[in-house]
């Protein structure tokens, strides 16, 4: 086995040491739950009768109690393109389970919110907290004690983190995540970006913009750009929680169905009554979490996971922080260029070697932990394989990763990367701590020093842009966008106008206690700034004209104001809470949310996790 890179080893030891007590408490919990928790054999007859009353032909097997009963937790809806293919999965999974003497039931459904639909709209203020709602929904489904394993059906932004958080509280169960795959490639992403910027400048109308968007998002499957949804799939791969090569097979294909079938068969082999018991809480350990960070950095994945990964880790008793990301980013090279960091999409990435090549090459470079407990192999290297159908019978087999990338404009070896670092930096100073994704930002733009223009709403920024008030070097500050303020919506619709200003030759940056899209773009941005404005974060004291210095190279985020004047300033007045679109129902989550660096979760904070 290749020797682990010293910095990867050091960060892993740092995480282990920091998590020692909380991880021990978690492992004790799942051991108790396995031995003394709520399980089918312990259910009273009335409980059990309710649980199998509608199970039809599976009823005798469930009554007998000798075979695994798989709980399906599904995030299906047919409005969200990525999750529309899940509609018929439960009936297929039941058939696949019967093939090996097992049974399956839908344990419960979860919300599946589409950020693409709510982006820039009021509903986006529910987005982050939908993750905790999904975790709660998964917990409700699994709480019945009817199941010896779980199949999690989810792909997109908050959905996979939410499913993982919920399932980890039942970490004694074996669990496999089952994706449904990306839609086939449509309009090239660069062309879509071009039309968006033309629309922001008023050079094309809504008709042309809608035609462009419809040609890009055109069918069933995950969006093909490398945002949060596809970063989720990458992380599940490098954590060994998928069947090998499962992430980026298109929906509706025989190969996709064969891999789903294999996942259900495999789930029956790793149950607690066999000799290959692999509970989720043991699969997700400190090394697996470090692998997820490394994979995120190596592929230029979504900045949203600087929030989601700490929350997922906490559910398993593991504590990580943004310094872990920063230290790993210094040694993990960027080996993939997938839009918005490159021209090609995830289908092109998959064809170029995809996740199998990424996993194999990063293990060989000593950057991934190979010695983790996965759902489908002896080590992570067994996941560096691609599924294929062979022969007239379409027998499923798994082939080793290609020795070299098949398209070096999309994918490169760690020895010859696109850039030497992972492109996600911690910046800090007298404004707090924030995340800066550098992988899509030109190196000469990674240090900006310019006057601030302060806003409390992204629509105010759009209005100022249209009025010509931002035609200069400027650091756009958008505050009161954190979890406690308004639920931390993504500020995705700022990307086109800020990109226009940058293309016009201005030095432009964004500083916010909110989020950008999972597809953070070419404009330098310090995002997730903590502490946020609500509760006294320093961003609340910035005034128009203050000089702000943002430098990824220096790891610096500072306002250059005389210290005495700075300390004398009062905090800005918080805008009133938004009403309508259900936002008022989530007030308790906003009020209880902790910092973005811990995951921005009221649920985990209240649970003491």
Q: Which residues are annotated as a binding site?
A: 156, 223
Specify the 3-state DSSP secondary structure of 170. Answer: coil
Q: Give 114's DSSP letter.
A: -
Residue 72, both tokens: 């399906």
CB 539 within 8 A of CB 510: no
Whole-angstrom CA distances from 531 to 313, 432, 491, 569, 608 are 21, 6, 18, 17, 20
Q: Give 495's DSSP letter.
A: H
Torsion-angle region of 255 (φ positive above 0: left; ψ -120 to 50: alpha; else: beta): alpha
Sign of the torsion formed by the C-alpha atoms of 413, 416, 421 and 423: negative
Q: Three-state secondary structure along 247-299?
A: CCCCCCCHHHHHHHHHHHHHHHHCCCCCCCCCCHHHHCCHHHHHHHHHHHHHH
**Rounded CA separation 237/452 (Å):** 41
Spell out a b/e string for 22-46, using b for 16 or more CB atoms within 10 Å of the CB, else e.
Answer: bbeebbebbbebbeeeebbeebeee
Spell out a b/e string for 206-215, using b for 16 or more CB atoms within 10 Å of the CB, else e.
Answer: eeebeebbee
Q: Give 398's DSSP letter.
A: E
Q: Which residues are annotated as a binding site for [4Fe-4S] cluster?
A: 156, 223
User: Closest Cα partner for 201 from 573, 506, 501?
Assistant: 501
**Mode of pairing for the β-strands spanning 424-429 and 395-400:** unpaired
Whole-angstrom CA distances from 44 to 51, 145, 294, 357, 604 are 11, 11, 46, 50, 32
Burial class of 174 by CB neighbour count within 10 A (0 to 12, 13 to 18, 19+): buried
**Rounded CA separation 293/466 (Å):** 38
Length of the chain: 609
H runs (alpha helix) in 37-142: 45-52, 59-64, 89-99, 115-118, 127-142
Specify the 3-state DSSP secondary structure of 186. Answer: coil
């Amino acid at each position: 086995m290749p020797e682990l890179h010293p910095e990867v080893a050091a960060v892993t030891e740092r995480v282990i040491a920091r998590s020692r007590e909380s991880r021990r408490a978690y492992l004790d919990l799942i051991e108790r739950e396995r031995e003394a928790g709520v399980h089918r054999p312990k259910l009273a007859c009335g409980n059990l009768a309710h649980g199998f009353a509608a199970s039809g032909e599976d009823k005798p097997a469930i009554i007998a109690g000798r075979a695994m009963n798989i709980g399906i937790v599904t995030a299906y809806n047919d409005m969200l393109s990525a999750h529309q293919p899940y509609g018929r999965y439960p009936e297929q999974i039941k058939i696949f389970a019967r093939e090996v003497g097992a049974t399956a039931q839908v344990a419960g459904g979860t919300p599946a919110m589409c950020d693409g639909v709510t982006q820039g709209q009021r509903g986006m203020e529910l987005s982050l907290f939908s993750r905790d709602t999904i975790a709660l929904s998964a917990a409700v489904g699994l709480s019945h004690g009817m199941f010896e394993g779980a199949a999690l059906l989810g792909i997109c932004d908050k959905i996979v983190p939410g499913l993982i958080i919920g399932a980890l509280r039942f970490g004694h169960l074996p669990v496999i995540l089952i994706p449904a795959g990306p839609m086939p490639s449509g309009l090239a992403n660069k062309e879509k970006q071009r039309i968006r910027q033309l629309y922001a400048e008023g050079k094309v109308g809504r008709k042309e913009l809608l035609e462009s968007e419809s040609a890009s998002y055109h069918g069933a499957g995950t969006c093909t750009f490398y945002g949060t949804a596809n970063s989720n799939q990458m992380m599940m791969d490098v954590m060994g929680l998928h069947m090998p090569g499962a992430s980026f097979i298109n929906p509706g294909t025989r190969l996709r169905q064969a891999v789903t079938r294999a996942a259900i068969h495999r789930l029956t082999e790793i149950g607690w009554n066999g000799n290959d018991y692999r509970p989720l809480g043991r699969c997700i350990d400190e090394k697996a979490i470090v692998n997820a960070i490394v994979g995120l950095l190596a592929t230029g994945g979504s900045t949203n996971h600087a929030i989601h990964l700490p929350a997922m880790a906490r559910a398993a008793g593991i504590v990580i922080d943004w310094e872990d990301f920063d230290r790993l980013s210094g040694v993990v090279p960027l080996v993939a260029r997938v839009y918005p960091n490159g021209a090609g999409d995830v289908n092109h990435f998959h064809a170029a070697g995809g996740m199998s090549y990424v996993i194999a090459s990063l293990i060989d470079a000593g950057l991934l932990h190979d010695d983790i407990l996965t759902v489908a192999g002896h080590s992570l290297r067994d996941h560096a394989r691609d599924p294929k159908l062979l022969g007239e019978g379409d027998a499923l087999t798994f082939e080793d990763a290609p020795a070299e990338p098949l398209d070096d404009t999309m994918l490169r070896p760690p020895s010859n990367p696109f850039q030497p670092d992972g492109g996600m930096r911690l910046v800090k100073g007298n404004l707090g701590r924030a995340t800066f994704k550098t992988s899509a930002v030109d190196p000469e733009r990674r240090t900006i020093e310019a006057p601030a223009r302060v806003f409390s709403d992204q629509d105010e920024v759009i209005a100022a842009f249209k009025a010509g008030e931002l035609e200069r070097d400027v650091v756009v500050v958008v505050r009161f966008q954190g979890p406690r303020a308004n639920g931390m919506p993504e500020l995705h619709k700022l990307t086109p106008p800020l990109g226009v200003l940058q293309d016009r030759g201005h030095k432009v940056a964004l500083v916010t206690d909110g989020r950008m899209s999972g597809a953070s773009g070419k404009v330098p941005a310090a995002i997730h700034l903590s502490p946020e404005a609500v509760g006294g974060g320093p961003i609340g004291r910035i005034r128009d004209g203050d000089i702000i210095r943002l430098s990824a190279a220096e790891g610096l985020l500072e306002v250059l104001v005389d210290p005495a004047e700075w300390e004398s300033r009062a905090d800005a007045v918080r805008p009133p809470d938004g009403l309508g679109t259900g936002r008022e129902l989530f007030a308790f989550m906003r009020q209880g949310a902790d910092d973005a660096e811990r995951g921005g979760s009221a649920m985990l904070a209240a649970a003491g996790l």
